[in-house]
Every structure is written in C-alpha cells, then in structure tokens.
Amino acid sequence: MSAASLAVQLAGGFLLAPLLPGLVQHWKARLQGRRGPTPLQPYRELRRLWGKSVVDVEGAGIVYRLAPAVAAGSVATAVLLVPVAARAPALGVGRDALALLGLLALARFAVAAAAWDTGNGFALMGASRDLTIAVFVEATLVLSVAVAALVAGTTRLTGIVAGTAGTDAWSNPALGLGAVAFALVVIAETGRQPVDNPDTHLELTMIHEGPLLEYAGRDLAFLHWAAAARHWLVLVLAAQVFLPHPRSVWEQLAVLPLVLAALCGGLAIVETLTAKMRILLAPRLVGVGAAAALLGIVSWLVQS
Amino acid sequence: MTTPLLLAAIGLLALGTVGAAGRSTLRAALYAQAAGTGLLGLAGFWMLTAGTTAGSAFASSFEPRFGVDGLTAFFLGTLGAVGAPALLFAARYLQDDLRGRALGVLTGAFALSLAEVLCARDPLTFLAGWELMTLLPAALILVGRSDAASRHTVFLYVAVTHLAGAGTWIAVLLAAHAGALGGHGALARGSGLQIAIALTALAGMGTKAGAMPFHSWLPRAHPIAPAPVSALMSGVMIKVAVYALVRVLVDWLGVLPLGIGVLVLALGALSAVGGVVYAIFQHDLKRLLAFHSIENVGIILLGLGACLVLRARGADTWAAFALGAALLHTLNHALFKALLFLGAGSFERAVGSLELDRLGGLLRRMPWTGGAFLLGAMAIAGLPPLNGFASEWLTLQALLHVLAAGGIGDGLAGGLALAALAATAALAVLCFVKVVGLVLLGPPRRDAVAAAVEVAAPMRAAVVALAGACVFLGVAPGLLFGRLARLAPWPARAGTAVGLHLPGTGSLPTAGLAAVLAGLTAGLVVLRGRRSAAPAPTWACGQLVEPRLRWTSAGFTKPLRLVLEAVLRPQREIEVRREGGLVRQVSYSGHVPQLLDERLYRPAVELALGAARHARRLQTGRLGTYVAYLIALVVVLLVATRAGVIG
C-alpha cells in the first residue's frame, strides 16, 4: 500500500506533472472555441528544449548558471516531501508541511537572483512582482496550512491527509474557509489568471515568465519543469487536504487522478472567465484568502 | 575544571585589552582578544553540552558574585562564536587606522563588559556591566568618527537607551528587593509586582534589544560604528539584552499571566514586519543590515512570546521547544548578522561607499568574501538548508502550537503572529535578493568597484568561518536545539539528534534535506551539460543595457512600496527641467519616512521641549528669586509636616 502511494508520488510528481499545465491549456482552448494544443504539448516543448544548447549571457556568472538547477532541485525536493495519500514512507526529507515554504522560497530566490545577474529589466520586473506577491501568498499558505494542521492535530502531511479524510472534518466551517484561502494560493503559485497570465509574452505584464526570458535549452527546460511540478504540488495538496477525500488509501489513490483532472478543468474555467487583474490588486485578492483562513482558525477555536 | 578555563579566557581577553594600547603590540593584542573570546565561547559551549555550572548562583544581595549556568554558558558561546571572528577581522581592519589603538582597547573592554553582564550573579554587577555595555560602543563610535552627525547620533543613542534603560534598573532592583533573583518562586502568579517587573523589563531590555517601538536608536547607531564593532553590537550586544529578557521573564518571574505573553508576541510581530519592511527601503548596506537586526529580534521575541503563552497555558513541552527556538534563532542571527556586517566592512574597505546603487559585480572580484556574504544573505532570508531556515521553522511550529493550546484570544494572536512571521520570511527574501543583486551580481556600477580586489587573509578567514558555522547549524541544528530546550527552568523532555524531530510535526531531518537538495541540484547541473552557445548580450528589446538603464534599489522595491502605500506614506518628488519644449533633466527623489519616529517620537520630543521652555522661566538668574524659592519650599514642608502629610 505504501509502495503504491510512493510510486504514484514519484511518477506523478516527476513525470506526469507537465501533463497538468498541458490539460489546463487544452481545456482553456476548448472553452474559448479553439482547438488548441494537445495536453501533451509541454512534453514536446521539453523534448525540443532538451536538444538545444544553453545560452550564457554576457557578463553573467555562476548565479545565472546555477539558478535553474537550484530552482528545479528545490521544487524536486518538495515533490519528495508532499505525499499523495495518507500512507507513504518519508524519503529522508521529512513530511512537514511548513518545510514546503522554505523550499518554494529557495526556488524563488534562485530565479530572482539570476535576474539580477543578467541585469535584464524585464526579468527584474517579473522577479520584483513575483517576490512582492509572494509575501502575501506565503502568509496565506501558512494560515491555510495552520487550519489543516489544527483540524488534523499535526503538521505531518500524511497525518493531515488522514486527519482531513472522510466527512467528519467538514462538519466545522474551518476547513472550508481554509480551502478558500488555499484556492487563491493555488492560483498564485501556478501563475494563473487573475494573478498572472501564463500565455502572455508582453513584457510589461509578465510575472513568472519574466525571469525566464534569458534562458534557453536545458536551463529553460528545468524552469518549465519546475513550474509544472509546482502545479502538481499545490493541486495534490488541494485534492488531498482541502477537498473532501475518502479514508482508505486505495480509494485516495484511485480518486486522485480524477480530482486532479477536475481541478485542472476548474483552473481552465477560472482562466476563461476572469481577466488578469492589475498587478497591484493581486495582493488584495490573496489577502482575502488570508482573512478567510484567519476566520477559519477562529471558527475552529470557538468550537473546540 | 571549567573555572580555570573561563578565568584563562577572561585573562587573555583582558591582556589583549591592555596590550592594544601599545603601538607595536596592537596586532598581537587583537589576536589575543580574539583567542580569549574564542576560548570563552568554547568553554561556554562545552559547559552547555556537559550541563555543568561554575561559580556562585544568583543572589539578591549586593556583594559582587560571578557564575556561569546553562543559559549564561550558551550566551558566552554566542559571544565567542561572533567575537572571535569579529576580533580576528579587527586585527587586520584596525591595523591601518590612525585611531587603531584606542579602538583596540575599547573593543576588548566592550567584549569584557558583555561577558560581565552574562556572568553577573548579583544586581549591582549586572547593572554596572549593563551600563558599560551601553557606554563603550558610544565611546567606540565617537573615537572612530568625529563629525557632527555622528556626535548627534551617539547623543540620541545614549539618550534613548538611558531613558528607556531606566526600565532595566527598575526591573532588576524590584526583583532584587523581592528576592526574586534566581527564581525561587518568590513572586505570586499575576501579582502586581510580577507584572510591574515584567513590563519594566520589556521596556528597558526591549529598548536595548532594539524591539519596535523602542528601536529608533538602532538603525542610526549600528551603521556608523567600525565594521567589527557593528558586528559585535548587532551580533552580541542586542543578544545580551535578549539574554536579560529571557533571564527575567522565563527564569526569575515564574509563570506569567497570559497577557504578558500576548504582549511579547505583539511586540515581536511588530518588530519583525516593521524591521524588514523598513530594511527593504534602505539604500545603504549597513543601514539596511541594522534594520534587519530589528526584524530578527522580532523573530526571537515571537519565539519567546510563544514560550510565555504556552507556559501560561500549561503546555510545558512546547513552551520549552519555543524557548529553544528563540535561543537557537538568537545564535543563528548572531552568526549571519556578524558575517554580513564584516562582509560589508570588507566591501567598504575595497570600494569606499556602501551606497547600494553604486556597487555590483563583487562576487567575481572578491570570491571569498562575496561567496560567504551570499551564504549569509541566504541564511538570513531563511532559506534551506541554512541555519536561519531551521530556527524559523521551529518558531513557526511553536506559534502553531500557541494556536492549538486552547484560548480564543491568544489563539488568534498566535494566528496573526504566524501570518506575520511567514510574511516576514518572504519580505526578507525580497530584501536580500535586492542586496545580493546590487552588491554581488551584475556589472560593476562605478570604477572603484570594477577595480576591487579581495581583502587580506584574516578578514577573509573571519567571514568564511562564520559562513561555515551557518552551514553547520543549518545541517545539524538538532545537536544544539535539544540542549537549549532543556535550559527551561521547568522539566522538559527534548532529545538530541542531528535533525529536528518534534512530536506533532512532520519533523525536519535537516541533514537529509541538505543532502537531497544538494544531490538533486548537482545531478541537474551534470544533466545540463557544458554545451553552450556563444554568449549573447542581455535582451532589452534590441536596446543596449546602458548604465542608465540598470535597475536600482528603489526600482526593485517599487511594487511593494505601491502595495503598502496606504501604510507607509512614501514621499517623492519629481522635478522635470524643460528647455524650449525639450526635457533636459529629470530628477527624482523619494524616501519612506519612519512612521514611528514621525508620529510617536517627534510629538513626544516637541512636547518635552515645550515643557522645558515653560520650566525655564523658573530660572531667572536673580538671587532674590532663588531665596524666595527656598523660603517657599521650607514653608510648604512645614505646613505639610504640621498637616501630617509627611513625617
């Protein structure tokens, strides 16, 4: 049982992650009346990038060269950290929900520092916006994790998955409010509308795409994979913690692909229905999530 | 066994202090100071590990006593871990300084005064050390710089730390009067005296620690001291204030009412967020680092506040963990802040001014100092696998347990503190990306920077040693954490392992995390291969990236400034000069005012000055008036005695 969930975790996180943004793009195109690329398009792009050589920027140094590996390495560590079901052995990196925060911050730091190394104005614009929004995203993420940890009584992720399983945990509004908060974290971390627009290459509106401008070849492949793996991380957490899920590990594993596909569909619908908001309004939107999570905490404290 | 070691260390330090007065012995004396401090630190960590004590215990009487217990031993270790590299750095840094000898004597005396506060076991010795610890850095700054602005800053520093420092005197003397030095359960829980001591200690020692809203001296005084002194001030002096707070609030006063813990949480959250937000908008490296000291004191206070709340709620195990988190962050901050200040000192030596917009490219020109500085920046930003991440994770866990401990009010306070700490960590990442980018990366932004060369070997060795300590405590924080949690004066169970394995958490196997991170990253670097196309210029829509197109400190932080505009009230002026319809020159100036200074301190100072103007009318300078005052006083006293008000 634990071997199966481990297999799903590793195969899903490392290999199937690019399918998630592919699915979102595919369904978004369908919703907009276009045929659009197949869901496998991210794999094709990764293969194409893999065959190309990297480009060094004049004057840039070791930070620029190491950043994609550091970013992808820390996201890969996070993939090892986040389990897909209530039972999975730890892989030497622990199973703690709050450790996730540090790993995602390391990836962000590496990419933003690389932007300074190249001195590219558009990269820096994206990096500074990304880091500004991250302030609010991290607070919201911690508060929503706190809600789940209160409900489950631990910050061990497998324990959280088990503690929020079934219907009992949902008798209190806390987890529902935490889910609202986490939904906004999902949108911000995956770089989706209304916070960011993954399709645009109009420099003035870019956030996550900005710091990627100077990269090519395998460097860019690493960064694209890291973005896809971030989809995997937050969507798996959403499916296994902040949405109702069954108690039995087998059922959890069986339901997971369906829920992930449904969540991708949900992201596609949100992307189709909303326009990108002004960048400076995004913190307010994410702040609403933080407030919702705080309300969830209060409702839990009042009831217990 | 340890007492002779401690005495030898103090003796070596004192010898180095005296020896620094000689022209020919200055360098050797500073090495002796470094060795003495290092020995003191070694003895401290050894005593902490072995769990031994030395000298006498606390007594409320006034005979001078000295002693070392677990808490003192840990802070002596901190003093050694920062003092030894800082003084080693000073040996080379002060060598070419005209005032090197005076500065050398004063740094030694400063280190001795810090050790005195830590080892004092009676109120008088403690307070004497406390005053010396305040006055010696003032003397150091004045010897180092003699311009009017520095003199004014030192005046402000001495004034603020003495006005609010009265709180320390009141707290310690009240505790001595009640016989509460050393605990002994002398004070009833929730008694007026207990609360009064706690509040005065928070004001007095909080000022010295630089907690908001008592911080206004810190960002002014720390940057203008010589680099090794800045490192000692930010690394150790404000930590000694933290020691005093822990001593009073955790050790002496017993179990405090819940409200005090919530108050400490509030102070911590304010300092953490306020410190880092103002740090982001600084454009001078040392001033920015000084604001970060406020932030980190805030994080330490968050741990301490969690400890007090959990203790009041009876959750003793997690109260001990919270104390361990606060103490571990104290050491961690001491290490990386000293590293960053010493690195800033090296950069200043190499290139002159530390204005952030006029540095750049120093990682390539000064690889040792620059590399260590990069590690220090990542550690202070709380990134794994370095030490700042370990202690911030512990503090987050402690705050989460405040939530789970029961109450609604303190639970909500814990939730807000949790959000504040998470936001602080993200803001620190933003701030240090800016620092790393402007100082270490990109092209050099002026000629002096382009010509920078690496500093002398002792200065390099100091920062590299501190960086090594940051990595070590990031990989194996558990070796220390268990012992720190057991320093709590109540029975606490905490194991000692390499990683951090706490009940109710998913555990943080720091060594495993570091190995996996390093392994995966290295694997990806190998996969990336060495094949690369010809170097290309940076893309700027076909333009060349000229110097005037380079991003600045103000530009990078603009989104945050706009988001927080309603709170921060930034001011800016743009002046456009036109000639014949053509724009000739655009000048921009903007700054983010210190709200607490402008809204709280300035009105208070104006009020005080206004009152002083009124009071001055009493001083006429005429003898007759003064005689009249005296007669009036005698009459008032006689009447009061007659009426039975006095006597």
Distance CA A275, CA A269 (A): 12
- Residue B316 is predicted with a pLDDT of 87
Task: Report whether pLDDT(B184) > 80.
Answer: no
- pLDDT over 70, % of chain B: 99
**Min Cα separation A86/chain B (Å):** 13
Distance of alpha carbon B455 from alpha carbon B445, whole angstroms: 20
| pLDDT band at residue B80 under the 50/70/90 scheme | very high
Q: pTM of the prediction?
A: 0.93
Query: DSSP for A283-303?
Result: HHHHHHHHHHHHHHHHHHHHH
Mean pLDDT, to the nearest integer, of A242-260?
Answer: 90
Per the document, the length of chain B is 647
Q: Is the dihedral of CA B629, B635, B638, B639 positive or negative?
A: negative
Instruction: Tally A–B CB contacts below 8 A.
Output: 278
The predicted pLDDT at position B78 comes to: 94
Q: Do B397 and A218 touch (CB under 8 A)?
A: no
Q: At what angle do helices A121-152 and A173-189 cross, to 10 degrees?
A: 160
Q: Percent of chain B scored above 90 by pLDDT? A: 43
Arithmetic mean of pLDDT, B277-281: 92
For residue B540, pLDDT over 70 is answered with yes
Taking residue A104's Cβ as centre, other Cβ atoms within 10 Å add up to 23
The dihedral sign for the CA sequence B264, B269, B272, B274: negative
Chain mean pLDDT for chain A: 90
- The answer to whether residue A279 neighbours chain B at the CB level (below 8 Å) is yes
Q: Hey, what are B548's tokens? A: 């005037």
What is the Cα gyration radius of chain A? 19
Contact check, Cβ <8 Å, A113/B404: no
- Nearest partner of A77 among B476, B522, B499, B371, judged by Cα: B522
Alpha carbons A286 and A273: distance in angstroms, whole number: 18
User: Do residue B504 and residue A154 have CB atoms under 8 angstroms apart?
Assistant: yes
- In this structure, are residues B550 and B445 in contact, taking their beta carbons and an 8 Å threshold? yes
pLDDT the model gives residue B63: 85
Choose from B302, B427, B513 for mutation: most chain A CBs within 10 A. B513
Distance, in Å, from the CA atom of A183 to the CA atom of B56, rounded to the nearest integer, reads 58
pLDDT at B604 over 80: yes
Closest CA to B465 of B348, B343, B585: B343
Higher pLDDT, A202 or B440: B440
Taking only the tens place, the pLDDT of each residue in B224-269 is 888 888 899 888 999 999 999 999 999 888 888 999 999 999 999 9
Cross-chain residue pair B540–A120, CB shorter than 8 Å? yes
pLDDT greater than 80 at residue B495? no
Residue of A nearest to B544 (CA): A120
CA distance B218 to chain A (A): 25
Query: Which has more pLDDT, B131 or B189?
Result: B131
Tell me what the mean pLDDT of segment B151-163 comes to. Answer: 87
pLDDT of residue B299: 95
- Between A37-51, A93-107, B57-71, the lowest mean confidence (pLDDT) is in B57-71
Q: Write the ipTM.
A: 0.95
Query: Taking CB atoms and an 8 Å limit, are B537 and A106 in contact across chains?
Result: no
Of B426, B521, B535, nearest to A58 by CB-CB distance is: B535
A93 has pLDDT over 80: yes
Paired tokens of B476? 């194996």
pLDDT (mean) for B358-380? 91
B363 touches chain A (CB under 8 A): yes
3-state DSSP assignment of residue A218: helix
How far off is chain B from A92, nearest CA to CA, in Å? Answer: 5
Most trustworthy range by pLDDT among A53-57, B548-552, B628-632 = B628-632
Contacting residues of B for A76, CB less than 8 Å apart? 520
Q: Which of A66, A87, A91, A93 has the highest number of chain B CBs within 10 A, making it the mutation to test binding with B?
A: A93
| Calpha distance B269→A41 (Å, rounded) | 46
Chain A hits for B545, Cβ within 8 Å: 119-121
Residue A1 forms contact with B (CB below 8 Å): no
Which B-chain residues 500-559 have CB contacts (< 8 A) with chain A?
A: 504-509, 512-513, 515-517, 520-525, 527-529, 531-533, 535-541, 545, 549-551, 555-559
Q: Give the pLDDT confidence score for residue B516 in this predicted structure.
A: 93
Q: What pLDDT score was predicted for residue B572? A: 82
Q: What is the mean pLDDT of chain B?
A: 88
What pLDDT sits at residue B242?
94
- For residue B1, name the pLDDT band (cuts at 50, 70, 90): low
Residues of B in Cβ contact (< 8 Å) with A80:
516
> CB A94 to CB B436 under 8 A?
no
Distance to chain B for A11, nearest Cα, Å: 16
pLDDT tens, position by position, B23-33: 888 888 889 99
* Nearest CB to B429 within list A74, A105, A119: A105
Q: Who's near B638: CB < 8 A, 6+ residues apart?
A: none
Distance CA A264, CA B251 (A): 54
Token pair of B334 as six digits: 């001491």
Which residues in chain B are closer than 8 Å to A146, comparing Cβ atoms?
400, 403, 415, 418
d(CA A82, CA A102): 13
Q: How far apart are CA A187 and CA A266, in angstroms?
A: 11
Structure tokens at A285: 């939107």
Query: pLDDT tens digits for B43-76?
Result: 999 999 888 888 888 888 888 888 888 899 999 9
d(CA B138, CA B162): 12
A222 touches B: beta carbon within 8 Å: yes
